[in-house]
Amino acid sequence: MLPNAFFIGNGVSPYANIWEGEDTTAWSWGSYILPFMEADVAGNFDNAAAPWNYFEANDISLDVLEQPISGFMCPSDYAGEDINMGDERDTWLTGAPPEIQPPNPGPPAPGHSGATKVLSARSNYVGNNTWFGWYLRGRFVGAVAGKKNQYGNTESPSNSGIFWRGSNLKISQIPDGLSKTIMIGERSTASGQAALIYLTKASSEAQTIERTLGTANARLNTPPDSSGNATEEGRSGYSSDHAGGVIQFLFCDGSVHQIQDSIEHAATAQWRSRTAFLGAKAFENLCSRQDGVQ
């Protein structure tokens, strides 16, 4: 839905340069922009603290993570629920769950039953992480947490897209131009288990951050498998349930555009170095901020 993408763009523009988290579970870019979207969720999360430390210190139930925000949900996502139930969309507590006592004697507060697996609210929007693959370990197998980006630790700034682990991107580091570079795109539940608003996992650059980020190294509108389940490719890319095969993308200048899933796209290409542009197609160029195509 165009208004939703534009609404998110208003929030991201002043704050998209910060997305941190080296721990197994970390804040996502969505949690950082809540104050700019006038979305008061648990006091607009103090991102200076690790997630579980923040919830415990402020006596906040983990139930807050299940609170949906309409601006993050596309009405066309016919299979989506308020809480993302995807089997690859959970996050995990590190260590024991917060021990928060209710104001009156009785059982623990909701959301603190001792379980370590945490479900949270659905988002249909993912940040642009990269244009071609992840590191050297395979098409959808990313670098481990010890490596900062898909090129090892040798590139500065890291990665070819806009968001990644610990990203701190400046406008000056988007030489292709803000109007020519994708920042955020859609992902549907049926095609890709959608995404999450508040938290992500940062243990592997591809297989875990897909909860909030996407890659051009996946076919647009990847169909589910024969059993109706989202595939690994679908969970990593962009998709929507809009008529005509169009997907909405928010560009770095704040504009929103619909892109047909038939756009020229070398989706099956393997990893390439940042300077190997010869095989890049139109969609990959839009997902790279520094491919030289303006």
Q: Is the pLDDT of residue 193 over 90?
A: yes
Angle at 88 between CA 50 and CA 283, to 5 degrees: 95
Backbone φ and ψ for 163, nearest 5 degrees, come out as: -120, 145
Q: Average pLDDT, stretch 207-212?
A: 76
CB 17 within 8 A of CB 170: yes
Report pLDDT for 36: 76
* pLDDT confidence band for 194 (50 / 70 / 90): very high
Q: Average pLDDT, stretch 189-216?
A: 81
Q: Average pLDDT, stretch 64-75?
A: 90
What's the mean pLDDT when you consider all of the chain? 76
* List of E strands, the chain: 25-27, 91-92, 117-118, 122-123, 125-130, 182-186, 195-196, 199-201, 213-215, 246-251, 256-260
Report pLDDT for 47: 67
Q: Average pLDDT, stretch 171-190?
A: 94
More confident residue, 121 or 269: 121
Q: Average pLDDT, stretch 176-202?
A: 92
Report pLDDT for 16: 43
Report pLDDT for 19: 41
Q: Is the pLDDT of residue 102 over 70?
A: no
Report pLDDT for 17: 39
Q: Is the pLDDT of residue 226 over 50?
A: yes
Cα radius of gyration (the chain): 18
Report pLDDT for 237: 92
Q: Which residues of 192-224 are buried (b: 16+ CB within 10 A; e: fewer)?
A: bbbbbbbbbbbbbbbbbbbbbbbbbbbbbbbee
Q: Is the pLDDT of residue 129 over 60?
A: yes
pTM: 0.82
Token pair for 36:
């700019």
- Weakest mean pLDDT among 1-10, 80-89, 259-268: 1-10
